[in-house]
A and B are shown apart, each in its own frame.
Chain A
Amino acid sequence: MKPEWKAWAQEAKNEFPRANSALMPLMHRIQLSEGWLSNETIRDVAELMELPVQYVESVASFYSLFHRQAVGKRVIHVCVGLSCALKGSDELMHALEERLGIKEGQTTEDGAYTLLEAECLAACDKAPMVQVNLRYEGPVRPEDAERLLSEEVPS
């Protein structure tokens, strides 16, 4: 457990008096600094929030934006929702997979990229669209894959 987590937990609790409500902001904050939530982190969070580990694990696994495995510096979500699919998200995904040498759900060996799919991100007008570290970009055509990967991304 990082020393500052206690204070963060307190802040979250001040804002949301009920532990199960305060849980999410705390996990977001910890993930922002750690990149992901390990089993150990989950146990620490449970302790800080005085909740059962079982409960925290259920919440963390419910939301796909909580990472339960280590992720790369850049997390790319490719939207595979209907509009994006019609506009070629499949090809885009393949192109990215090829460039990065990994499959969807994996992280490159150097820890630079993680490639994930997402359901409709409510930006169908930009289809096919992606998120890079949660920042929306689109349309990204399959042939733009290279460009996407070379872009500077504010983390």
Chain B
Amino acid sequence: MIRLTIDGQEVTVPQGTMIVDAAAKLGVDVPIYCYHQALGPLGACRMCLVEVEKMPKLATACTTAVSEGMVVRTSGPAVDKGRRGVLEFLLINHPLDCPVCDKGGECFLQDYTFEYGPGGGRFQEPKIEKVKDGPINPFVLIDQERCVLCQRCVRFMREYVGEEQLLLEGRGVETVVTTVEHEPATSQFTGNVIDLCPVGALLSAPYHHKGRPWNIEREESVCPHCPVGCTSKITAREGHVIRMEGRPIPDREWGWLCDRGRFGYDFGYHPDRLATSIVKGKENTAAQATRQVAEWLKTVVDQEGGRGVGFIIGGGHTTEEAYQLRRFAAEVIGTDQLAISRTEAGYLPRGLNGTFDDVKQADTVVLLGSDPYDTVPVVHLKLRDRLLHYPALRVIGLGPLPLTRDTLPGLDVLVPPGQESLALALAMAAQWPQNSDVQTLVGSLKEFELQGVTAQTLVQLGQYLQGAEHLVLLWDGKEPEMAMVLGVLARLREKPTAVLPTFGPANWRGYEHAGFSPRFEDLTAVLEKARDGEIKILMVFGADLLREYPNRQLVESAFNQVEYLVVEGILPPQGAQHVDALLPGAAWAEVYGTYINMEARLQVAMAGVQPPGQARPIKTYVNTWARMLMKPLNWDEEWDPFDDDSGDLLPFEPVPDHVVALAMPPEAVGPMTLVTGAFIWESGQPSEILVPRVPQFPGRINPAEVKDMGLSTKRGHIMVSQGSESIVVAVTADPQVPKGILWVPQGLFGTNHLIEGTVTISGVTEEVTV
């Protein structure tokens, strides 16, 4: 540790700390532009000049490491003069158009000029003119005249994200920030440069000229679109959310968002947003609709008891809302048939759930069927961050498709679809052959040979699994047996083993915490009971089951069979003709509440706007129904989802240690297998803003297969059939995808008409050129 004095105060910091960070520890603010803790020092802008005793000239606080006994002064005549000079230079060619700049009022160039700058510049010559509001891509604009060339944006994209799409072009006063070959930047993370830019050069296109700090309101929030639950801030104006920004949390989060999250905030005022109640196809008043539903509930409960009612929750509801619904179901209706709308069959026991702190310490990362870039993007950034700090990070992809990338290189072990847990168990058997749990796991696999994976690979994988000091596994939740295999692995390793579930819905842990069953079997059971007539009234909150549930036929028959189907949501679900009562719900940012993310971490999101029209939160609905059913709910005791002892993480629960033999997989019967997976552009609520970015041909298939169908193009439509069902899928030929696999995003193209497995494919259109 090093001791030094800053502005007369003593501080002790680790060796290698830069003066700015040491000062920050004392609460002393040194002005900076180019420096950012995540990106490291550069020394480009000279804004951070400070006086260091025994140094002949002012020093840059961001590039000067502390040393024992150092005496630093962050103000005084010399420093003031230095800062004045730097600002005068920075403003020579600045257009001074603050009155029309989106950043006006929240800009470090304004703030520092006001605080430290000269009253005016001495430079009289005409200013250099550059591009204003040029596109980086459809979401990010650049005003090159306002840029102070701090390079944060360029370095973020190049070093941190690893996608080299921004650059400095030219030299001297002519230098500008632009994109490679002036093509739109395509990275998943471009929006972060808006937050990073200390001045008004990089701007959000959808927020452009929409508001300024004095006519907006900002609230702390959490991104609702995927299970990462990135910490964010919303900006609201006149009842609409008009911006989302990252919200850094010291020592925990940098505040990165992916573009899907940052720009996908407009679903609250989507043109299809539900704002009126619809009963039997007709618009109705809120009072009549709620009364009607109460009557149905009463009829069913009187005849069948509470078990005639089933509840399914999904979408973007808060944990509190789920809790209110659960209490209504239990106390007023008297049913325990409470399920979560799940798309995958797997469930992760709390005890195996890791946190992002594990990512920060990981030396080995295994991607089980999940490519974080496309499913939980900011986790990809967290892994990049780890890779930058620990270049030896070992990344292993295990799934039917390659899961590593240029930005996250590693080893890909390709296994036939549905056999990831088998592969993992076999690798464990190679490494721990004597262990009885492992022997049980692979007990029925004596005859089994994993296609395409050599014994050597399995041995190596086993060694990596054992050798890892801190193992992190990202799991897509598709194979339910995986949880058991992971449990065995965690017990065997005796070193930190952390699993991060990448599946949705984003707040499933919250619904579980509130008392809903997270198990896929229970969801299926509720649907089956509805199909079999045991459940007479199905109450669906926030879920779009025809889109989400993997077996569409079951949902359809359940919808056809139930006497009443009541759906609450913010957008009309698929199959609206089945719905007896459609009730408009309150969306994210319209209710205060807690979300629990893939770390099992509780995070609070504030409300910033009012729900539109008749839309109202769950609590209002259940209270009204409870009163109508003569069993009013008592909310005297506020329920707090936080547990005092476990802080903002859900309390730990031991992992069940029950182990059974893994079953032999079914023989593949055809040459083409359908595989579906989460895809960030299709997760969460739809956004109009994002339309230009959503891939139009998101299916993926090997180019050779496309050729075999007689399609000579890179993209096109193909017909995918199974039994009597067929769907049309827009695909891109992707050499990364092994032959025999068709990958389709979950929920798109009506994929759930088909069951994952063998399909036949044929071409639909010719020649859709790129």
Contacts and interface: CB of A to CB of B under 8 A. Distances in A.
Interface of A: 39, 52-55, 57-58, 61-64
A57 B180 contact: yes
A53 B180 contact: yes
Contact-residue bracket for chain B? 10 to 19
Main secondary structure of the interface of A (DSSP, over half): helix
Interface of B: 158, 164-171, 180-181
A62 B170 CA distance: 4
Contact of B169 (A39, A58, A64): A58
A58 B181 contact: no
23 contacts: A39-B181, A52-B164, A53-B164, A53-B180, A53-B181, A54-B158, A54-B164, A54-B165, A54-B180, A55-B164, A55-B167, A57-B167, A57-B169, A57-B180, A58-B167, A58-B168, A58-B169, A61-B169, A61-B171, A62-B170, A62-B171, A63-B171, A64-B171
A61 B181 CA distance: 11
A117 to B, nearest CB: 12
Contacts of B168: 58
Contacts of A53: 164, 180-181
Closest 3 pairs between A and B when the two form their complex, measured CB to CB:
A54-B164, A52-B164, A61-B169
A55 B169 CA distance: 10
B193 to A, nearest CB: 14
B637 to A, nearest CB: 58
Given A39-B181, A57-B180, A52 B158 contact: yes
Nearest to B179: A54
A54 B165 CA distance: 7
Nearest to A62: B171
Contacts of B181: 39, 53, 57
Contacts of B170: 61-62
Contacts of B165: 54
A30 B171 CA distance: 22
Given A52-B158, A54-B166, A62-B170, 5 more contacts: A53-B164, A54-B158, A57-B181, A61-B171, A63-B171
A91 B171 CA distance: 27
A118 to B, nearest CB: 13
Nearest to B181: A39
Contacts of A57: 167, 169, 180-181
Which among A55, A57, A58 has the greatest number of chain B C-beta atoms within 10 A?
A58
A77 B168 CA distance: 24
Contact of B167 (A39, A54, A63): A54
Contacts of B158: 52, 54-55
B299 to A, nearest CB: 67
Contacts of A54: 158, 164-167, 180
Contacts of A64: 171
A57 B182 CA distance: 11
A54 B167 CA distance: 6
B128 to A, nearest CB: 14
A111 B402 CA distance: 50
A135 B158 CA distance: 39
Contacts of A39: 181
